Structure 1
């Protein structure tokens, strides 16, 4: 009986969340222009009662139900972050970058020698890699601290001014500065490895700061302040701005699918890029109850879009009900293995973007059906409150 009641409560709480998602998407699909778009989001962020109910539902699901799983989404994030920064992941990535730079230097030298012979001149060249004050290319594998240098203007992500950059080298010492966006209850604060800052438009408790991440103001970094352990201890309850390149990790756990438009998901990823130091990690968890191949095209599209902003994928895992992705931010002047293809915000789509209103309404109310349908839905709800399609066909 207790198990049945627990499942019913789980489904009730999940229904609150699914209902808000469907209602928000429906409103956005009726937008005629950007002004309407902004007004609907502003009204959504101001609907404190609806957001409070959503935050309470999410909090109860996360703390009363999902913690019973052998490995939760938070467990996966923590394990992946620690492996990257302290388990050799970052060092291997930087060793690979160092080898790539050497290949780049060798190819440049070969081209210069070829040009020299072709032009039949006596000009000498040392074959070194051209590094201006605006683009610094170096091997960061031996760094023992955050290295400060000039960063290239990032016109591809909306900022066009040259600014100070802090690139993360190895070994990484001290607590990892982690920004958990859409945090609800700041679960990473329970781990001593992290200096965790939770942001949400509707916090579930006082440890989370209220913030509309889509409209966050990005300020200049202060490397001196960032060298202190207490650099973020005195943040206000409501945050409207944060310094660029100040975090080791940004986490989007069940965030991107909450947003009703691909443009908003793109903005979130661009903001994450600016807030991360070079070699920082963007961790994304998004729900999907189907097998890996079902939405493989979507994940491939996400990868191309996110990498075009200035990331490279470091890890991808498909678990039973979620996709788990981790992207490393390129450090200053880094040379890629290969060019990333053209990308745009609409590549950060989710299946619900293509559902019509009738389908959305059916998704919210659908708790009856065949015994097989109900069993499939119950298994899904044991992990996540939301999923991309109600059937489990593959």
Structure 2
């Protein structure tokens, strides 16, 4: 009994440590992106790519080497505007939607204005919401403080939300719970619609294998999610999970479902186990006939007393009659 209690206690401690690592990892990514210059660096990379594209000679299609002293274009944003936006994020709260929140873990971080939703909430602070069937409405044309006030007055349950409402959408251990790739795809598409431009989609999916075991799967997820209008900002592999951060780079979803099956690329290993599971289930539910039960019982009854010939593999003194099973396949042959 004491050993059982110790095992339960150890398991609970491991689960709490795992949950803490998930929360801390997501929190650090948000701080890095919004408050420690990550977003600014990402925008600068976009500017450099645009500069290189603009300096490509159309006739020869040969890229020209940019001069180091050339200033980078701001893509419509001045340095003052970029810095102002960064200060707004540092002074105001980051609007965060936690999908599949359960216990609303991000509520304790003062940097976030958190909205936790779950189809079966575990605490009162989490709103009841079926995210797959959530209706996305037109974006609000309001100032930031007015949008914050709107979020604080949401009604429970939530059936619809305006688009471009959040700076961060979190899928922590969410996508792997859905039984089909298409449902995971719909979730990512809704996240794109709910995020502001340059907002973050944070995805955590479980995996306790070594670093490169699911490398192809993670690459497939990257291609599928980026096709919606995202650009991956960060990727980390922890002992029991993958963490991916995607930045929304376009207002409209840009996925071409005709040329490629992007929804199917959001697969997990369990998607390919259904046939094997059915075969295993049918075997496990096999029911023996009365003749087989009698044969098995007789076999156990004679084991203690009957000498056994290890060479022939037959019992030498068995008085129990042997019943030949009526196998339909053997009868047909």
TM-score (norm 2): 0.70
Aligned CA distance change for structure 1 residues 354 and 288 (closer, same or farther; 3 Å): same
Deviation at 1:195, TM superposition (A): 0.3
Alignment partner, residue 129 of structure 2: 211
Residue 7 of structure 1 pairs with residue 7 of structure 2: yes
Alignment partner, residue 262 of structure 2: 344
Alignment partner, residue 175 of structure 1: 93
Alignment partner, residue 58 of structure 2: 111
Residue 223 of structure 1 pairs with residue 170 of structure 2: no
- Is the CA contact (8 Å cut-off) linking 1:276 and 1:329 kept in structure 2? yes
Alignment partner, residue 195 of structure 2: 276
Q: Secondary structure at the match of 2:227?
A: helix
Aligned residues: 261
| Deviation readout 1:132-154 (Å, 9 max, x if unpaired) | xxxxx5347542599xxxxxxxx
| Deviation readout 1:37-66 (Å, 9 max, x if unpaired) | xxxxxxxxxxxxxxxxxxxxxxxx6xx653
- Is the CA contact (8 Å cut-off) linking 1:141 and 1:170 kept in structure 2? no
| Aligned counterpart for 2:176 among listed residues 257, 264, 268 | 257
Equivalences for 1:35-114 in 2 at 5 Å?
A: 66-68=15-17, 72-107=21-56, 110-111=57-58
Deviation at 1:4, TM superposition (A): 4.0
Alignment partner, residue 40 of structure 1: none
Aligned CA distance change for structure 1 residues 254 and 97 (closer, same or farther; 3 Å): same
Residue 321 of structure 1 pairs with residue 240 of structure 2: yes
Unaligned runs of 5+ in 2: 62-72, 253-258, 282-333
Q: How far, CA to CA, are the matches of 1:360 and 1:183 in structure 2?
A: 32
Aligned CA distance change for structure 1 residues 209 and 71 (closer, same or farther; 3 Å): closer
Aligned CA distance change for structure 1 residues 68 and 82 (closer, same or farther; 3 Å): same
Aligned CA distance change for structure 1 residues 227 and 98 (closer, same or farther; 3 Å): farther
TM-score (norm 1): 0.60
- Is the CA contact (8 Å cut-off) linking 1:304 and 1:343 kept in structure 2? no
In our comparison, the structure showing a higher alpha carbon Rg is 2
Q: Larger relative contact order (C-alpha < 8 A, sep ≥ 6)?
A: 1
